[in-house]
């Protein structure tokens, strides 16, 4: 029997396996479903156009991408890296600590794990491997692990995607990501310290304390960006979308006027790269909007809720199941696709169980980011493998201790909601 929904799923999986963008695959699958059900196939285009044009929030995505690309093109990353060396490089395994610490700082600007790995990550990998102090596989592993922090600490493109499908406040989601992001940084630095002691890794060049003010001063323009963004959002001066525009403009002014490190040619290349990245995200969002209409017509959320009720799960049991499912899906699906396709199905059930949607959002976003380093698909694994020329299998072996540390952090984030919601509540959140 011809079931349009089954055929839609088969097409999506099949086209994805053949290398097509999952956004395009979802659009094709959605059109097949509509045609099979006898609906006007123009509903697909109408749905995605309404979703794209009626969401002011989505404007923040290309602006955050542009801000990150400008910072990578200029010398902001170099100055932030030097500041990180001065602060934490003096400890054993210093460059590993610098790797994580610089990701914590850079994550407050880019909102993208890939931008962190390609920009700051490429620089720190070269530093770690230059004198043979660290193996390329270890440098790649800690870079991939620390890059997952980028989308947790605001600004965060995945948080924007979650806000799109859950109708949750981006401002409170951004606030909720700060402490979990810091926790992820702490557990990675602890693990790096333990490995450094075991393997006898060296300390980095110790920057004298008297030189620290000068290094900090040179990095101040870059360090001010997260403060401007968060202060503007939580002070009620600007919306997250307006903050994204400010981030892009500020990064451009600092790079071109203050540091004079971006030429006209580099800026043109940056615009092209940002346009390509934005188009890729836009196709994914468009496909997800169309396929979410299919899921709604098929009444999948209600069917799933009835299925879950059979197991009489508690909220804690439900969160455990979500973690296991998200981590499994992360092995084969891209994080954005998970947030736009899978997560909306579970939101009604989470609400019915009394799970706070801001807390739930942080849990699923952290899971989606861990999926970027979860074998065998983990996109970040291939990014750092391309940078270092190392086999993915060798990187995975070095990554496992860091992945274990991040799972501990995920457990705390999942089962201690007060930890996640502490800052949002300070800022007036009533959840």
Domain annotation covers residue 241 = yes
Q: Residue 305: what pLDDT?
A: 67
Q: Residue 313: what pLDDT?
A: 82
Number of domains in the chain: 1
Which pair of structure tokens corresponds to residue 375?
């074998």
* Inter-residue contact 328 to 375 (CB < 8 Å): no
For residue 64, give the nearest of 243, 285, 272 by alpha carbon. Answer: 243
| Structural domain boundaries enclosing 93 | 58-285+300-426
Domain annotation covers residue 45 = no
Domain annotation covers residue 431 = no
Q: Residue 44: what pLDDT?
A: 66
Provide the sign of the torsion angle of the four alpha carbons 221, 227, 230, 232, taken in this order.
negative
Q: Residue 263: what pLDDT?
A: 82
Peptide bond into 364 cis (omega under 30): no
In 10 A of CB 56, how many CB atoms?
A: 11
Tell me the three state secondary structure of residue 54: coil
Locate tokens 């940056």: which residue?
Answer: 270
Q: Residue 47: what pLDDT?
A: 67
Q: Residue 6: what pLDDT?
A: 83
Domain annotation covers residue 23 = no
The pairs formed by 256-264 with CB atoms below 8 angstroms and a separation of 24 or more are: 256/74, 258/221, 259/74, 259/75, 259/76, 259/79, 259/221, 261/73, 261/74, 261/75, 261/76, 262/70, 262/73, 262/74
For residue 349, give the nearest of 360, 341, 334, 336 by alpha carbon. Answer: 360
Domain annotation covers residue 8 = no
Q: Is 153 left (phi over 0), alpha (psi -120 to 50) or beta?
A: beta
Domain annotation covers residue 53 = no
Q: What are phi and psi of 2, to 5 degrees?
A: -80, 110
pLDDT along the chain (431 residues), means of 10: 78 78 82 82 67 65 78 71 76 83 72 65 79 87 90 84 87 92 95 91 72 78 76 78 83 82 84 83 77 76 70 87 84 74 86 93 93 78 82 90 96 96 91 74
Domain annotation covers residue 404 = yes
Q: Residue 193: what pLDDT?
A: 92
Domain annotation covers residue 393 = yes
* Inter-residue contact 338 to 368 (CB < 8 Å): yes
């Amino acid at each position: 029997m011809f079931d349009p929904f089954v055929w839609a799923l088969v097409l999506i999986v099949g086209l994805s396996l053949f290398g097509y963008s999952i956004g395009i695959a979802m659009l094709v699958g959605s059109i097949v479903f509509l045609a099979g059900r006898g609906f006007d196939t123009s509903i697909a285009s109408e749905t995605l156009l309404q979703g794209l044009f009626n969401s002011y929030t989505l404007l923040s995505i290309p602006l955050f991408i542009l801000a990150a690309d400008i910072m990578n093109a200029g010398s902001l990353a170099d100055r932030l890296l030097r500041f990180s060396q001065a602060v934490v490089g003096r400890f054993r395994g210093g460059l590993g600590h610098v790797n994580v610490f610089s990701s914590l700082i850079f994550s407050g600007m880019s909102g993208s794990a890939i931008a962190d790995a390609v920009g700051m990550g490429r620089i720190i990998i070269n530093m770690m491997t230059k004198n043979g102090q660290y193996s390329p596989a270890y440098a790649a592993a800690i870079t991939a692990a620390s890059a997952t922090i980028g989308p947790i600490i605001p600004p965060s493109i995945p948080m924007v995607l979650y806000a799109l499908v859950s109708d949750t406040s981006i401002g409170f989601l951004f606030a909720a990501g700060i402490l979990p992001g810091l926790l992820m940084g702490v557990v990675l630095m602890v693990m790096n310290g333990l490995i450094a002691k075991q393997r006898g890794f060296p300390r980095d060049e110790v920057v004298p304390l008297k030189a620290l003010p000068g290094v900090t001063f040179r990095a101040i323009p870059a360090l001010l960006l997260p403060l401007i963004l968060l202060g503007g959002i939580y002070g009620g001066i600007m919306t997250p979308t307006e903050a994204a525009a400010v981030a892009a403009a500020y990064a451009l002014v600092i790079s071109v006027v203050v540091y004079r490190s971006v030429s006209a040619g580099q800026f043109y290349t940056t615009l092209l790269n940002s346009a390509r990245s934005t188009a890729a995200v836009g196709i994914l969002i468009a496909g997800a909007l169309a396929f979410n209409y299919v899921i709604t017509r098929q009444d999948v959320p209600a069917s799933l809720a009835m299925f879950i009720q059979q197991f009489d799960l508690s909220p804690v049991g439900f969160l455990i199941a979500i973690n296991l499912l998200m981590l499994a899906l992360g092995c084969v699906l891209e994080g954005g696709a998970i947030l736009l396709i899978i997560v909306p199905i579970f939101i009604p059930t989470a609400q019915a169980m009394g799970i706070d949607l801001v807390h739930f959002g942080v849990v699923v976003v952290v899971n989606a980011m861990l999926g970027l380093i979860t074998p065998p698909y983990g996109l970040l694994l291939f990014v750092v493998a391309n940078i270092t020329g190392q086999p993915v299998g060798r990187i995975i072996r070095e990554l496992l201790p860091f992945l274990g540390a991040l799972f501990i952090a995920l457990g705390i984030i999942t089962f201690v909601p007060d930890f996640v919601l502490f800052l949002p509540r300070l800022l007036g959140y009533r959840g």
